[in-house]
Amino acid sequence: MFTEVLVGLVIGGLIFFLAQRSKKQVLKTEDGWWGIGIPPDGEEDATIRPFKVTTSEEELEDLYRRIDQTRPVTSLEDSQFHYGFNSQCLQKVVSYWRNDFNWRRQVDKLNQYPHFKTKIEGIDIHYLHVKPKNVPEGTTAIPIIMVHGWPGSFYEFYGLIPLLTEPSAPDHLVFEVVCPSIPGYGYSEAPHKKGFNSVCAARVFHKLMKRLGFHQFYAHGGDWGWLITTNMAQLDPKSVKGLHVNFAPPSKPSLPIVLSVILGRYFPKLFGFSDMDVEHLFPCMEKLVVESFKESGYMHIQATKPDTVGRGLNDSPVGLAAYILEKFSTWTCHDFRNLEDGGLTRKFSLDDLLTNVMIYWTSGCIVSSMRFYKENLGKGLNQPHSKLPVYIPTGFACFPNELMYTPKLWVKQKYRKLLTFTPMARGGHFAAMEEPQSMAEDIQKFTKIVEKKKKQ
């Protein structure tokens, strides 16, 4: 009896020790230098400079000339979007772009919020900083950093920003929003050296928030923004009060995940699976594998030889539009592949879609944005951050048409303090742009819970 008790105490103590040890672990990182050449002597210039999006007449004339000289390709009969962007649809998009799209008006829209640049680790970091116009007496605005992904941009959040900074309901929290461009995306300078991955971006964004005076803040992200904000929580959990994401693919196949894949169809309640979970996870494994291959070809290219295909996209605006907008079709809803027009304007306006394309075109960032895949995936998936759980309060918005559906059980394997898991009625990969109202409501709900717990 004594031996059994002793063994039990030893095992229990070991489990407790390992649990406590894992909680204390944080992601390790070192300062980098991504500018040209070697870092200069002395401290880096920490000046914050106002920035405005501008385009010259010469740049627009060059764009129109390239569009006019494109060589159309005929799509196969009855191919819809199954072979990629349907050529007949593309010609209509290009015609609108060339003849009706008003970029000057969209530039004014982009500049409605204050833009800034500041140099961090040798490169210029572009960001929006939107302060609320009215903050209720006795309260303070809650800082939040929102990070985009590929092939998106800071513009993805333009429908969400006013819902957070100017909420309509009196009981809503008021946010102060920071939206940076990932280095190499949009108007942030591209790294000039190899190795700039999500952890480096997380470190840079921590420095940005501290430079703006925010020592504690919330973070939200989807696509690469999910990984960058997750890394931010792993690097400095005391600074990130709460993390809200709408994309969270499993970082590694833990035992509960493997068992749920094998047995979840037959014993859904055992794994806490809802009807929605079963519907999305178990149509048939063969279909899930085929679907992943259909939608991941771009990733293999960008994770291996981004500069090759990227050079063609950097020269051809029509090629760039096809490459980017095809994702806004199939990643919004897989069934849009069956439509001649790819369902592009069912959830987005052409003006918004082309504005995102123009951010890539005018900044010439397509190659550097694609390199981010090679820097993150080129060394394999078993990176230090993939092994570390996240112990800060987390909220997850589960959109049904996301590229990889992630049930609550899977999310909790990584995010150990999952406070909210919200099954959304509709929406896909570009959720902040597609469903800003639903996203704002979920961020509000999650943040209120965290703030209430902190007060208690």
> Is 8 a residue whose pLDDT tops 70?
no
Which of 263, 286, 309 is the last residue in one of the domains? 286
pLDDT at 190: 98
**Number of structural domains, the chain?**
2
Assess whether 222 and 162 both reside in one domain: yes
CA-CA distance, 52 to 274, in Å (whole number)? 47
Buried b (16+ CB within 10 A) or exposed e, 314-339: bebbbbbbbbbbbbbbbbbbeebbeb
Assess whether 264 and 198 both reside in one domain: no
Q: Residue 75 falls within a domain, yes or no?
A: no
> Is 290 a residue whose pLDDT tops 90?
no
Residue 149: CA atoms inside 13 Å, Cβ hemisphere, count?
A: 22
pLDDT at 23: 52
Assess whether 431 and 454 both reside in one domain: yes
Q: Residue 123 falls within a domain, yes or no?
A: yes
What would the two tokens of residue 46 be?
Answer: 């920490």
Which one of the listed residues 373, 385, 415, 442 is annotated catalytic?
373
Residue 27's DSSP bridge partners are: none
- Decide if 334 is catalytic: no
Q: Residue 160 falls within a domain, yes or no?
A: yes
C-alpha Rg value of the chain to the nearest Å: 23
> Is 10 a residue whose pLDDT tops 70?
no
Residue 243's DSSP bridge partners are: 219, 394
Q: Residue 163 falls within a domain, yes or no?
A: yes
| Residues of the chain above pLDDT 90, percent | 76
Assess whether 121 and 239 both reside in one domain: yes
Residue whose C-alpha is closest to residue 324's, from 346, 356, 372: 356
Assess whether 120 and 246 both reside in one domain: yes
Q: What are the two backbone dihedrals, phi and then psi, of residue 280, each rounded to the nearest 5 degrees?
A: -90, -25
Q: Residue 271 falls within a domain, yes or no?
A: yes
Assess whether 199 and 265 both reside in one domain: no
Assess whether 129 and 192 both reside in one domain: yes
CA-CA distance, 234 to 211, in Å (whole number)? 20
Range of the domain at 278: 255-286
Q: Residue 187 falls within a domain, yes or no?
A: yes
Which of 270, 286, 302 is the last residue in one of the domains? 286
Residues 71-84 have a mean pLDDT of: 94
Assess whether 196 and 265 both reside in one domain: no
Single pTM value for the model: 0.91
Assess whether 266 and 190 both reside in one domain: no
pLDDT at 278: 79
Which one of the listed residues 115, 280, 429, 442 is annotated catalytic?
429
Q: By the 8 A CB rule, do 192 and 159 touch?
A: no
Which one of the listed residues 223, 236, 277, 352 is annotated catalytic?
223
For the chain, the residue count is 456
- Decide if 429 is catalytic: yes
- Decide if 373 is catalytic: yes
Q: Residue 47 falls within a domain, yes or no?
A: no
pLDDT at 3: 44
Assess whether 174 and 263 both reside in one domain: no
* pLDDT tier, 11 (very low <50, low <70, confident <90, very high otherwise): very low
Q: Residue 295 falls within a domain, yes or no?
A: no
Assess whether 272 and 421 both reside in one domain: no
Rounded mean pLDDT of the chain? 91
> Tell me: the pLDDT tens digits for 422-449?
999 999 999 999 999 999 999 999 999 9
Q: What is the CATH number of the domain that holds 389?
A: 3.40.50.1820
Assess whether 137 and 203 both reside in one domain: yes
